Copies of this chain bind each other. A is one copy, B any other.
């Protein structure tokens, strides 16, 4: 009987080999199953594996054999509703393709993001998925391009989810959804209901590509209907509930004239609703409100929110799928996913002019 390894140090192929009276090579072959081995030998080896409770060492296998089979997922944080869904999609697709999934959070720190990408390069991650809108600055583009090239050289792949593409000659996979189209559609919907004074609540962060796209759609819809888009209002810098709440209150206090609010995100919309309710305004009878994202919260609000549906989970899945199954010689990949308006109860026809 071979030595019984003590608690804490794992048995190795050698232990199994000794215990079953064959060579380490044979053990490896039995476990891999990709090589002819006699039935009797296989049985003996498997018995020893069970007795020793042997499991293979993934690190060592990666060193000797092929790659590492890991996808890295880097995100601001895990608790944002959309982030969690993208993560779910990434993990799902990574698993479906036989990869493991590493997660890391940056909490908005760009330095940390760089560190993490470097770490993932060390880990030999096959794909590094970056999630969440970045700014569209020149330095950002340059830095990302450099990172894309570095990862490519390491045999890895940079994947951008919901960020703008870097250029046709940059080795990266980009998957976005149609921010502008969705905003155009839902703004048109409000206009078709008769609204002419619509506030876009979400300005204040120029260069943020997600919000910029939505704002562009908002403005384009006005142009398409020969309307002048009201200057965007209500600096909602942080894009949380509170900022939506405060911005709406300020708007009301300033006596601004409007019949509808297009909140840049559902979360902002939830704050808007609270402020309107506190002011004694009814939604949608007095003021219409729409959001963007269609997170589960949208149906929990009162009234249920009319918004733009984004399939974040599919976004994550697509990102990983494209990154792993790409043409080896392909450089830049770019996919834009569709979105659609979901009509619920928070937007209605224009109130009678007499009302306010």
Instruction: Name which of A51-59, A174-182, A216-224 contacts chain B.
Output: A51-59
Distance in angstroms from A2 CB to nearest chain B CB is 15
B122 touching A55, Cβ below 8 Å: yes
A53 touching B150, Cβ below 8 Å: yes
Chain B contacts of A194 at CB under 8 A?
none
Chain B contacts of A9 at CB under 8 A?
155
User: Does residue A103 face the partner (Cβ distance < 8 Å to B)?
Assistant: yes
Beta-carbon contacts under 8 Å, A119-151 to B: 119, 121-124, 150
User: Does residue A87 face the partner (Cβ distance < 8 Å to B)?
Assistant: yes
Known: A78-B91, A79-B84, A101-B104. A122 touches B153 (CB 8 A): no
User: Does residue A85 face the partner (Cβ distance < 8 Å to B)?
Assistant: yes
User: Does residue A42 face the partner (Cβ distance < 8 Å to B)?
Assistant: no
Distance in angstroms from A197 CB to nearest chain B CB is 26
User: Does residue A232 face the partner (Cβ distance < 8 Å to B)?
Assistant: no
Pick from B63, B118, B155, B241: contact of A59, CB under 8 Å = B63
B118 touching A55, Cβ below 8 Å: yes
Known: A78-B78, A153-B7. A59 touches B53 (CB 8 A): no
User: Does residue A154 face the partner (Cβ distance < 8 Å to B)?
Assistant: yes
B123 touching A105, Cβ below 8 Å: no
Chain B contacts of A8 at CB under 8 A?
153, 155
User: Does residue A270 face the partner (Cβ distance < 8 Å to B)?
Assistant: yes
User: Does residue A102 face the partner (Cβ distance < 8 Å to B)?
Assistant: yes
Instruction: Name which of A20-28, A162-170, A200-208, A294-302 contacts chain B.
Output: A294-302
In the complex formed, the residue of B with least CB distance to A86 is B78
Distance in angstroms from A241 CB to nearest chain B CB is 7
Distance in angstroms from A245 CB to nearest chain B CB is 11
B100 touching A154, Cβ below 8 Å: no
Distance in angstroms from A338 CB to nearest chain B CB is 21
Known: A7-B153, A8-B155, A87-B78. A123 touches B100 (CB 8 A): yes
Known: A102-B101, A103-B101, A300-B300. A124 touches B154 (CB 8 A): no
A79 touching B68, Cβ below 8 Å: no
**Complex alpha-carbon distance, A302 and B300, angstroms:** 9
Chain B contacts of A154 at CB under 8 A?
10, 55
Beta-carbon contacts under 8 Å, A266-318 to B: 270, 277, 297, 299-302, 313
**Complex alpha-carbon distance, A300 and B55, angstroms:** 48
User: Does residue A92 face the partner (Cβ distance < 8 Å to B)?
Assistant: yes
B122 touching A300, Cβ below 8 Å: no
Distance in angstroms from A65 CB to nearest chain B CB is 11
**Complex alpha-carbon distance, A152 and B5, angstroms:** 13
Chain B contacts of A41 at CB under 8 A?
none
Known: A122-B56, A123-B58, A300-B301. A78 touches B84 (CB 8 A): yes
A-side residues, CB < 8 A to B, are: 7-10, 53, 55-60, 62-63, 68, 73, 77-79, 81, 84-85, 87-88, 91-92, 95, 100-105, 118-119, 121-124, 150, 152-155, 241, 270, 277, 297, 299-302, 313
Given A58-B122, A241-B300, 17 extra CB contacts under 8 A = A7-B155, A8-B155, A55-B122, A59-B68, A60-B63, A77-B88, A79-B84, A79-B313, A87-B103, A91-B105, A92-B105, A100-B102, A100-B123, A102-B103, A103-B103, A241-B299, A270-B300
Identify the 4 closest CB pairs spanning chains A and B, nearest first: A302-B302, A58-B122, A59-B62, A78-B88
